[in-house]
Amino acid sequence: MAPRFGLALVLALAAAASAQAAPSAQAERETEQLIQALARSGCQFERNGSWYDAAQAQAHLRKKLAYLRKRGLADSAELFIERAASQSSLSGKPYHVRCGGDAATPAAAWLRARLVQLRNAKAPPPPTPPSP
């Protein structure tokens, strides 16, 4: 009976170790909004020395997000930016975003700025002081 118990314990521990908590609904929504913001931006996305259009950037970042989510490594929009959208996992080179005639900016900074905009747009307005 002891070998069965030992095997059951090992299997239970392995299952617990591989179980990953799902990201919150807010994290999923914000991450999706960031990817959509890039896709709608009309900006170009640079990775590993080549420039891609916004649709190609969106597809690439979705693949990286799926990889991270399977491993429980993208539990927030900030972690998505840090682990998927800042640099190439192959070369380590930073990603960049270039919009129109503007200079290229690091993708991490571009996405963080969009995240701030998204969150500020959702914030409730401050209370109005009572009239005298």
Record the pTM: 0.76
Residue 114 has pLDDT above 60, yes or no: yes
The sheet carrying 105-106 orders its strands as 50-52, 44-47, 96-98, 105-106
Q: Are 94 and 103 in contact (CB under 8 A)?
A: no
Q: Where are the domains of the chain?
A: 39-120
A 10 A CB-CB count for 26 gives: 12
| pLDDT for the residue 125 | 66
How big is the chain by its Cα radius of gyration, in Å? Answer: 20
Output 1 or 88, whichever has higher pLDDT.
88
C-alpha span between 4 and 80 (Å, rounded): 41
Q: What is the pLDDT of residues 42-61, one digit of tens each?
A: 999 999 999 999 999 999 99
